[in-house]
Structures are given as structure tokens and as C-alpha cells.
Amino acid sequence: MPRRKKNLPETSKKPAVKYEKISHRLLGMKDLVGTEYLGFDVVMNKVWNLAKLYGFTTIKTPILETFDLYKKSTRRNTDREFYFVEGEKSERVVLRPEITQGVIRAYLENNLAENGLPVRLFSLGPIFRHEKLQTGRYRESTQANLEIIGEKKPLAEALLITVAHNFFAELGIKVQVQINSLGASECRREYGNKLLAFYKERGRRSKLCHYCKKNLGKNCLSLLDCREECCTKLREEAPQIADYLSDESREHFAKTLEFLDELNINYNFNPYLVRGLNYYNDTVFEFWPINEEGALSGKVALAGGGRYDSLVETLGGTATPAIGLAVGIERTMSRLKDRHLLLGKPENDVVFVAQLGDQAKLKAMQLFEDLRQAGFNVRQSFASESLKMQLEEATTMQAKTALILGKKEIIDGTILMRDMDSGAQETVVFKKIKERLARKDKLIEKRVINRKEGGLYG
């Protein structure tokens, strides 16, 4: 019988931790955490600032709307993409799948045309679509919408495309404008009949995907929007809508392209671009991502829009021309390459309060509040116990000054003030730190003024 070894420590097994089953998020929904939310914030602020710069008035419309608002202008004349919500007995209430219809309703209901046309409106918020899950598509997403109501001239198209072009350029995202003209309703009706006859010819219908076969008799133009390989191959032989445009629509589209040429905006005439909604007429456009070589990168548009001159009348108003642009915030965010954008612009006067030890942390928290209330641009990382990591964070946010408190400083009634550019340190009496920081701010301000004057007069 083998002997038992002595003086060996007994191995203690940790009891298995039992977790209750976690409820996962719904399919098609997305959490934004960490740098993802920073990217979301950057994109939101960028589009908001551009909208204000170009003279758009911000409005907010409800997330809940009546189904009647959408049933005439929905994507495929079906309600299966809607999220229905329990409402009053006679109401069918939905989570909005688009923002444009709600904006037009608000425009009519609040008589926003009383001060004259055109009216420029900007709105931002979530939309909900119960659609097929695909890469880059979510059932809840955030949209930024710009609408110009009461402007028929092609200058409106040029303005919206310019806003979106500048938006992507300032974020460092390479895109190409895909653009087409659907013509007026009469043009689309004639073209739709020709397109239907084309797809019904022997052997062609059988080559369509399952969904397009079902949709053939309902909305023939939507077949051109399908991204399935079998359908994209077939549409290359299909007639093009450009051959069925009226003289007025052709002239309007030509003028739009002329404006884009003058603005040096890169675009591609895409005869198969139809967008998914039924209310569009004449100019439609989308922004597709491209790679460094200029080739298309991905199948999901980052933004899109077009003219909808009949929608105001459809929703109960007088006939009024209108055009809109929608930007997908999450889609744009996923294309951000420059991580420095997530940090925001560096601030020249940041004072970072660092600490080492529990006693110093409490004192540093008191100092932080004191400096903040005195008007200093102060930052901290109280959650970190490592002085090295705190100073690295101060460097990342490009702080000019770091104030360092440790056990020795607490005892001496002092604080270390470090210049983050030069690394030079000095010991300052704790009670006089505000006075010392104020003197340093004045010195920095004087240097900046001298540099500017040197640039102007030197």
C-alpha cells in the first residue's frame, strides 16, 4: 500500500459559481459600448453640426406613428416589416420604419410653411424594421434626415449631395455617389410595363430569386434593387428607365449632374438604382463606400435619398415638391478608420489630476471639484491605482499640465506640477495651486498671441 506523502498542502477546489441564464438581446439589435459608442457620438455630432451650418432647422418627431401614415409609401406594399404596438381600439400603431413620413406629417400638422418656402428640416433618431437580417443591417438603427420642402429646382439635389459628400469627407470615409432618375409617374408606369414584359418572357422568371418571383406582379421596379446574384445578372439585359424619361425629367437630371460636375463631386450614373420606397420620383441617389483604389467596398449604402414631389399631397397637403437625404449612423460609424477622431480635438488647457494612495485620492477628488468650480478644464482617472497609467492617459488626452499627489505631498502640504510637454516638474504649495495654474494659463495665452502676431506681421 503506497504511503501518504506528508507536509503537502491540501488542494482547495473553488466552488463552481452558478450564474442564472442571461437574457440575450433581440436579433437585429446592437449594443454600443466603449470605442463603438465614441464613434457613434463622433458621427452624430458631425451630422448635427453640418445640418446647422447649412441652415436646417432641427425638429423631433415621435417614434410611434399610425400605420396609415406609412401604408401608402411603404417599401413593398406589405406590413410584415413593421413592428406593431398595441394602441387604442381603432388604431394601428407602429414603431416608425422611416423618419421622412413623420417629418412631412409634422410639417403639415404644425403649418411650418406659414413663414414661406422652402423649409429645411433636420431630424435624428431611431427607426425600426423587421426585415431579413444581413451584414450591416439592423432591426433598430439610427438615422439622420435632412428634408427640403418646397424646392423644385435641381439645386436642392446638389445641396443635399454636397452636405453628405462633406460629411463623409470630414470623417475620412471614401464614398461614391450612385445616382439615377426615375422620372415622373407617367415615365415609371410606361417603363414598369416594359420591365414586367421583359421578366415574364420565357425562361427569365424562373431565374429570379424566391422573393422577386413573388413580387413580380406587385412592384416590378423593386426587382432592380435586389442584390441576389441571380437577379443582378438578369437585370443587365433589362431595359433601362433612362430611355423612358420625359423631356422635363431628362432636363432636370442633366442639370443635377452638371451641378455635381461643377462641385467636383465623384458620382456614377447607375441605371438600376431605384431605392426601396414607392414615393420617389426623378432624382434618386445613394452613397456607397469605396476602398483606397476607388473600387466599391461592401453592398450596403451609407446614405441615400431622392425627390418625393407627391408625398406631401399624398399625406393630405397641397402639391409641394420635396427632397430628402437619410444617413445611417451605425453604418457610417462602422467605416470610421481614423481612431484619432474618437478622441476629439485636443484641448490646449487640460489640467490632469493624478494621485497615488487612498488618502491622496480623497484629497485629489476634493482638488478636482475645487478646480472644476473655479473654471479650470480639469480631467482625472480616479478609477486607476497606477500612477504610470494615469500619466499615460493624461498624455493620450494631450493634457498640458499634470498635478500629482502622493503620501509625501499630503504630509508636506504640497503638490507636484508637471509640464507634460517638457517633463519639467516643480513643487507648489497646495493652497497656492490655483494661483500658480492661473499664472501658467496667462503665460500660455501670451505665447499664443505672440505667435499669431509673428505670423501676421513677421
Q: What is the pLDDT of residues 133-159, one digit of tens each?
A: 777 688 999 999 999 999 999 999 999
Asked whether the predicted pLDDT for residue 98 surpasses 90, the reply is yes
Q: Which of 201-205, 359-363, 409-413 has the lowest mean pLDDT?
A: 201-205
Beta strands 267-269 and 281-289 are unpaired
Q: Are 163 and 54 in contact (CB under 8 A)?
A: yes
Q: How far apart are CA 64 and CA 127, in angstroms?
A: 10
Q: Which amino acid is at 329?
A: I
Q: Check whether 76 has a pLDDT greater than 90.
A: no
Q: What is the pLDDT of residue 341?
A: 64
Interval 53-72 mean pLDDT: 93
**By three-state DSSP, how is residue 80 classified?**
coil
293 vs 254 pLDDT, higher one:
254
**If you search the block for the grid coordinates 413663414, which residue do you land on?**
115
Which is nearest to 148 in space by CA: 158, 137, 138, 156? Answer: 156
Q: What pLDDT does residue 410 have?
A: 93
Query: CA-to-CA distance for 264 and 285, rounded, in angstroms?
Result: 16
pLDDT for res 327: 97
Check if the beta carbon of residue 150 is closer than 8 Å to that of residue 320: yes
Question: What phi and psi values does residue 36 have, to the nearest 5 degrees?
Answer: -65, -40
Three-point CA angle 58, 62, 66, nearest 5°: 135
In the sheet with 119-128, reading across from the earlier edge strand, the strands are: 57-58, 119-128, 140-149, 322-328, 303-307, 281-289, 175-181, 267-269
Question: What is residue 283's three-state secondary structure?
Answer: strand
Report the pLDDT averaged over residues 313-325: 96
Return the percentage of the chain with pLDDT > 70, whole number.
87
Q: What is the pLDDT of residue 454?
A: 45
Please check whether residue 366 is in contact with residue 380, taking contact to mean a CB–CB distance below 8 angstroms: no
Q: How far is the C-alpha of 156 from the C-alpha of 252, rounded, in Å?
A: 11
Q: Is 174 left (phi over 0), alpha (psi -120 to 50) or beta?
A: beta
User: Could you count the other beta carbons within 10 Å of the beta carbon of residue 342?
Assistant: 16
Cis (ω within 30 of 0) for the bond into 118? Answer: yes
CA distance 111 to 137: 35
pLDDT of 222 reads 77
Give the span between the Cα atoms of 273 and 182, in whole angstroms: 9
Work out the mean pLDDT of the chain and round it to a whole number.
86
* Mean pLDDT for the stretch of residues 248-253: 96
Please say whether the beta carbons of 381 and 397 come within 8 A.
no
Note the helical H segments in 125-246. 155-170, 185-200, 210-215, 229-235
Confidence class of residue 170 from pLDDT cuts 50, 70 and 90? very high
Largest separation between any pair of C-alpha atoms in the chain: 105
Instruction: Quote the CATH superfamily of domain 35-184+246-340.
Output: Bira Bifunctional Protein; Domain 2 (3.30.930.10)
Query: pLDDT digit string (tens) for 437-455?
Result: 988 766 545 443 444 344 4
Q: Count the Cβ atoms, other than its own, within 10 Å of residue 54.
A: 15
Burial (CB < 10 A; 0-12, 13-18, 19+), residue 183, is buried
User: What is d(CA 285, CA 154) in angstroms, rounded to the nearest whole number?
Assistant: 13
C-alpha cell at 135: 451584414
346-450: which CATH topology? Rossmann fold (3.40.50)
HSE (side-chain half, CA atoms, 13 Å) at 205? 11
Q: Which three three-digit cell numbers place residue 240? A: 433601362
pLDDT on residue 176 = 95
pLDDT number for residue 71: 83
Report how far residue 436's alpha carbon sits from residue 62's, in angstroms, rounded to the nearest whole number.
Answer: 51
CA dihedral 119, 125, 130, 132 (to 10 degrees): 90
For the chain, which residues make up each domain, given as ranges? 35-184+246-340, 346-450
Whole-prediction pTM: 0.78
82: amino acid identity, one letter: F
pLDDT at residue 184, as a whole number: 93
User: Using an 8 Å Cβ cutoff, are 265 and 257 in contact?
Assistant: no
Arithmetic mean of pLDDT, 184-201? 88
Residue-wise pLDDT for 378-402, tens only, equals 999 888 889 999 999 999 888 999 9
Is-contact 238 197, C-beta < 8 A? no
